[in-house]
Amino acid sequence: MDPLLPTDPPQVGRYRLTARLGSGGMGQVYLARTASGRGLVIKVIRPELASEDGFRARFAREAEAARRVGGFHTAQVVDADHEADPPWIATAHIPGLTLVQAVREHGPLDPPALRILATGLAEGLDAIHRCGLVHRDLKPANIILAADGPRIIDFGVARPMDADSMTTHGTVFGTLPYMSPEQTESSRVGPASDVFSLGSVLAFAATGTGPFTGGTMAETLRRLLGPPPDPGEIDPDVRDLIRDCWDHDPGRRPTPELILTRFEADDLHTPGASPHFAVPEENTAFPSVLSVSTGSGQAPPPSTAATIARGGLPHHTREQISSPGSLEGTGTPPSTAGTGSNGKRSRKGLYIGVAAVTALALVSALLLWRADIGGAEDPAQAEEAEVEGPVPIGEHEDHVNTVVFDSDGDTVATAGSDGTARLWDVETGDLVATPKSFDGHVWSVAFSPDDATVASVHSDGTAQLWDVETEEPTPLPGHTGYVRSVAFGPDGSTVATASDDRTTRLWDGRTGEFVDTLGGHTDTVNSVVFGPGGFDLATASKDGTARIWDIETGEPRTTFDGHDGSVWSVAFSPEGAFAATASEDGTARIWNAGTGEPRIVLDGHDGPVNTVAFSPDGMLLATGDASGTARLWDAETGEPVTVLEGEHTDAVWSVAFSPDGATLATASDDGTVLLWDIG
């Protein structure tokens, strides 16, 4: 959580605000207290949403829906005012991790924790459906692991069973990777839609990966509408349940009541929990959030990295080439928390021997990891990966600054200091297209989600969108310095550009019209990327910080402050719970995206770290450095997986995973792009 800002109100209704918990799609979330000191969580709605036709009625319905379900299965609604300016809702503060936090910080769940989770969520959905409601946004971030079992929160999109599934504007409610197929196809949704989402939640809990999450929205949609994936080698009964939940025929999915009967023979609360397991003290009381994930983690100190010479000039750090209108600018935490007896964690973070006692069984089971019992071996470190290749693809006459895949993985786009952006066929290596040349450097390129448009940004202070078919450009004017980075939002409606003029600008991704400016960094903004939901934007700057912005308000929500040099690159994990940064100080870091707390420091590079990217499943992190080396890391533990070296002869400035995660592309100052088979 973060302290209140001067712009925050001191109280909402009768309740005094005490801290910021985060920001969701609907508004700002605060921790508050009553006059007697009881804890509350208050969600204050964005004014622009409150002004929309019919919004206040929908918001009142959220409060009423949660009240009808009751506090046993959700966060109890204490108070709400849908007529206030702006509207707000207050719920009881429930200490506990969200399911996202528990899995990301401690690893996937093993039985019986999975079974306890399945039955607890089935009970919750049964209560919701008996009230005549469909939740429609069941996902890991909307599940709090309370002391008495899981709580399903955020009824902001819950609808009566007889209501249309679409708004008057034709917008489908929900979170795409956890939607049912009928939600994505704009069909009427019933209780069975929540059951499909339950299967996806359980698959995430068992594997640590969103089963349908793709590299792009289009890829995620294809996975949802295609044959369901194999849940993997998990508890057989839970695997069978997940498969049944994923039936594309809603009528064949089990009801919550039938799910409960599957496990009624199991006594999940039998006394006799193993004395060798204990709940870590630092994880016993986390604040709950209506729709925002928070978490914790600490990181070891960074190492100092020397500057690498290149051609008699300092390392190619981009700002050292003079930029028009550019501006001159400019407490490390302890080692990683949540480790095993030897200071390291295995990828499988939670091993449960027997069910815990009483209603605390779920939370205890979710937070336990294997202890050093009876001389058992220490958790295994990450195994060295078998990497084939690399295969060269594409070449520029000068530095290659960026490489990205399209949504199918069939084409890569590259940006070069030779003044060109280029498209290459991945299978053949043939040059597909070269848009018009620019004077100076092309720093960055990005595909729109539908692959119909490519955005490019340049050292002449311009940016543009160009049609892949016709190569017709749409200019994005306005920056007063080099434009360093560009990114499309997940639905393609927004484009962000980052510049030496210290600003990030937002544009309409279809028309190219200017939307907003985000200002706050005190030096060059080097990198920009959207969060998976499209509500958040991350930036990295030469001022040594990275920030996450709420693009609705234009205000920074989280600041990552801890690097000792320019932050060159920033990336979100696929679920959005974490962010990674790469810095001139020789480290890459993984942070909690909700709180800004550092989690892991990766300090094995020889020199500045220029680029960072998560794999599509979130299990790997790729980095590239000034020595021409790329590395793969276990994103959960920070353990090195493999080193890709000896091929590039100069700095690696960009790394990108293919949508299926089987290939890593690396782009270098030596003018080449290489494809590494990491599958």
Q: What are phi and psi of 261, to 5 degrees?
A: -70, -25
CA distance 440 to 630: 26
Helices (runs of H) and strands (runs of E) counted in the chain:
10, 38
Could you tell me the strand order of the sheet in which 545-550 lies? 525-530, 536-541, 545-550, 555-561
What residue type is assigned to position 595 of the chain? T
Distances (CA, A) of 478 to 463, 467, 507, 522, 603: 9, 21, 11, 19, 38
Helix 113-130 / helix 236-245 crossing angle, nearest 10 deg: 30
pLDDT > 90? residue 133? no
**Of the spans 125-139, 422-436, 515-529, which averages the highest pLDDT?**
515-529
Which residues, including other chains, have CB under 8 Å from residue 119's CB and lie 6 or more apart? 259, 260, 263, 268
How confident is residue 100, by pLDDT bands cut at 50, 70 and 90?
confident
* CATH class of the domain defined by 99-283: mainly alpha
Which residue's entry shows tokens 């848009």? 435
pLDDT > 50? residue 467? yes
Q: What is the pLDDT, as a whole number, of residue 370? A: 25
Distances (CA, A) of 655 to 339, 488, 667, 673: 29, 17, 7, 10
Which of these, 473, 483, 471, 380, lies nearest to 440 by C-alpha position?
483
pLDDT > 80? residue 269? no
CA distance 200 to 245: 8
Could you read off the pLDDT of 308-355 as tens digits, one per residue? 222 232 334 444 443 444 333 333 333 333 333 333 323 223 322 222
Helix 191-207 / helix 99-106 crossing angle, nearest 10 deg: 20
DSSP string, 455-523: EEEETTS-EEEEETTT--EEEE---SS-EEEEEE-TTSSEEEEEETTSEEEEEETTT--EEEEEE--SS
Stronger pLDDT, 564 or 381, i.e. the higher one: 564
| Chain centroid, CA 399 distance in Å | 30
In the chain, domain spans: 11-92, 99-283, 388-677
- At the second CATH level, the architecture of 11-92 is 2-Layer Sandwich (3.30)
Could you read off the pLDDT of 651-668 as tens digits, one per residue? 999 999 999 899 999 999
pTM of the entire predicted model: 0.52
Which residue's entry shows tokens 């990108």? 656
Distances (CA, A) of 138 to 113, 130, 177: 19, 16, 10
pLDDT > 70? residue 283? no
Q: What is the pLDDT, as a whole number, of residue 389? A: 62
pLDDT > 70? residue 301? no
H-helix or E-strand spanning residue 51: none
How confident is residue 484, by pLDDT bands cut at 50, 70 and 90?
very high
Considering 110, 126, 137, 536, which one is annotated as catalytic? 137
Could you read off the pLDDT of 592-634 as tens digits, one per residue? 988 898 999 998 888 999 999 999 988 899 999 999 999 999 9
Mean of pLDDT values over 161-189: 63
Which residues, including other chains, have CB under 8 Å from residue 573's CB and lie 6 or more apart? 104, 579, 580, 593, 614, 618, 635
| CATH code for the structural domain at 388-677 | 2.130.10.10
What residue type is assigned to position 514 of the chain? F
pLDDT > 90? residue 503? yes
Could you read off the pLDDT of 49-90 as tens digits, one per residue? 778 777 888 778 767 776 777 667 787 888 989 889 889 989
User: Is 79 a catalytic site residue?
Assistant: no
User: Can the peptide bond before residue 390 be classed as cis, meaning omega within 30 degrees of 0?
Assistant: yes
pLDDT > 50? residue 112? yes
